[in-house]
Amino acid sequence: MEKLLEILEDIQPDADYETCETLIDDGILDSFAILSIVSELQDEFEITITPAEIIPENFNSAKALWAMIERLQAG
């Protein structure tokens, strides 16, 4: 989780990732930021993220992102 927060801070510093649960709904992360995050996550956690995973439910919070990473690592 710490590594994930580090990646998020690096890509889009202006957000409180510990508490925010509307990263997509409030437009904090735009499509460029989402794909930058995806690129880093794929390298860092050795997962493959497909277009099917790019939904607000997976990107609205750091917690949701972490759940997606764990699910993709397991499956």
Partner 1 sequence: MSLISMEFLLFVFLAVVGYYWIPQKFQWIWLLIFSYIYYISGGLQVTSFLVFTTITTYLGGVFLEKISEKNMEKQKAKKKKKQILISVLLLNFGVLGVLKYTNFAIGTVNTLFGAEFNTLQFLLPLGISFYTFQSMGYILDIYWERTTAEHNLFRFALFVSFFPQILQGPIGRFSKLGTQLFEAHSLHSEEIEQGILRIFWGYFKKMVLADNAVIFVNAIFDAPDVYDGLAIIGVLAYSIQLYCDFSGGMDVVIGIAKLFGITLDENFKRPYFAISITDFWHRWHITLGTWMKDYVFYPVSLSGWMKHFSKFSKKLFGKQIGRTLPICLANLIVFLVVGIWHGAAWKFIIYGLYNGLIIAFSGLMAPNYRKWKQKLHIVEDNKGFHFFQIVRTFILVNISWFFDIAKDVPTALLMMKHAITKCNLYQIFEIKIGEASGTKYTLVAILVILFGCLAVFIVSFLEESGKDIAVFFARQHWLVKCAVYVGLILLLPALGQPAGEAGGFIYAQF
- Residues in contact with partner 1 by the rule CB under 8 A: 13, 27, 30-32, 35-36, 38-40, 42-43, 49-52, 54-55
Q: Are 47 and 41 in contact (CB under 8 A)?
A: yes
Beta carbon nearer to partner 1, 19 or 31: 31
Classified as helix, coil or strand, 12 is: coil
Q: Are 8 and 17 in contact (CB under 8 A)?
A: yes
Please provide the distance, in angstroms rounded to a whole number, between the alpha carbons at the two ends of the chain: 19
Taking the complex as a whole, the smallest distance from the CB of residue 27 to partner 1 amounts, in Å, to: 8
Taking the complex as a whole, the smallest distance from the CB of residue 52 to partner 1 amounts, in Å, to: 4
Taking the complex as a whole, the smallest distance from the CB of residue 38 to partner 1 amounts, in Å, to: 7
Beta carbon nearer to partner 1, 13 or 74: 13
Q: How far is it, in rounded angstroms, from Cα 23 to Cα 46?
A: 23
